[in-house]
Amino acid sequence: MKTVRLIFGIFAVVGLGLLIGGVVSIQHTRRFLATAVSVPGVVTENVWQEERSNNRTTWAFYPRVRFRTADGQEISFISNAGSNPPSYRVNEPVTILYDPQQPYHAYIQSFSALWLLPTILCGLGAIFCSFGLVAVAWAALSARKNAWLEQNGRRIQAELTRVELNTSVEVNGANPYRIVCQWLDPATNQMHIFNSANIWFDPTNFIPGKTLEVLLDPNNPHRYLVETSFLPKVV
């Protein structure tokens, strides 16, 4: 469980860092646009070059663009946005935005050149943060439910059925165990199956008997807590 919390914590921290980076990038782009000068330019070639991301190397065409500033200075630069196949043809006219104080600080006026990086950072940040927030919310709700059941739940003895791997959950290639037990409600003659919380070690040799205590919501048998406090704590 500590490992799971650590992983979700890392997701939240990484997500927050990406969101901050995205916000900074948005502010940088907005400041640039506030003072940028718009002039016509032309694509002179498509430069085939590599880009590295997450230890992966890919190749793309980056347009080299030539334009003339308002004071007559001729500038040539390679765009920060590449693609494969190329997005522009050689000799294709484009609109250029440049910083009048630093003419080489220039971009093709397009979404990919101006806004793709902030969009990616904010999008990934939101995704990573959502994993962390969902985990925190789930833990809080689970703790609240368990506390209520410990005070108000009906205590029953359920028959131990088996210990199994919960293959629906996987962390770092490992699946947790869970204890499965069953109880026949004498009032309704209905069989109820209960699953314990995830256990990150094999609990088989630590189960003391053939029955387990289950705390059951008297009004909702689908809300329950399989008592596993007898298990050793993971450190």
Give the DSSP letter string of 153-198: PEEEEEEEEEEEE-TT--BTTB--EEEEEEEEETTTTEEEEEEPPP
Mean per-residue pLDDT, 180-200: 94
Whether residue 113 sits in one domain with residue 20: yes
- Domain boundary (121, 140, 166) is at 121
| Nearest by Cα to 110 from 62, 68, 54 | 62
Q: Specify the pTM.
A: 0.57
Task: Answer yes or no: is 18 within a domain.
Answer: yes
The reply to whether 137 falls in a domain is no
pLDDT of amino acid 165: 95
Q: Are residues 169 and 79 in the same domain?
A: no
pLDDT band at 4 (very low <50, low <70, confident <90, very high): low
Mean of pLDDT over the chain: 90
- Check whether the bond before 93 is cis (ω within 30° of 0): no
Confidence of residue 107 (pLDDT cuts 50, 70, 90): very high
Q: What is the mean pLDDT of residues 164-174?
A: 87
Q: What is the pLDDT of residue 45?
A: 95
Statement: residue 2 has pLDDT above 60: no
- What's the structural domain count of the chain? 2
62 lies in the same domain as 107: yes
> 60 is written with which tokens?
């793309």
Among residues 121, 144, 173, the one where a domain terminates is 121
81 within a domain of the structure (yes/no):
yes
Answer yes or no: is pLDDT of 235 > 70.
Answer: no
Chain mean position to CA 20: 15
CA–CA dist 35, 30 (Å, integer): 9
Which carries the bigger pLDDT value, residue 176 or residue 8? 176
Q: Which domain covers residue 60, as residue numbers?
A: 2-121
The whole-number average pLDDT for the span 58-78 is 93
Q: Locate tokens 């791997």: which residue?
A: 165
- Residues 162 and 66 placed together within one structural domain of the fold: no
pLDDT band at 129 (very low <50, low <70, confident <90, very high): confident
State whether 28 and 110 are in the same domain. Answer: yes
Terminal C-alpha separation, the chain: 10
Tokens (6 digits) for 7: 């992983």
> pLDDT digit string (tens) for 27-49?
999 999 999 999 999 999 999 98
C-alpha count within 13 angstroms, C-beta hemisphere, residue 225:
19
- Is there a single domain that holds both residue 10 and residue 66? yes
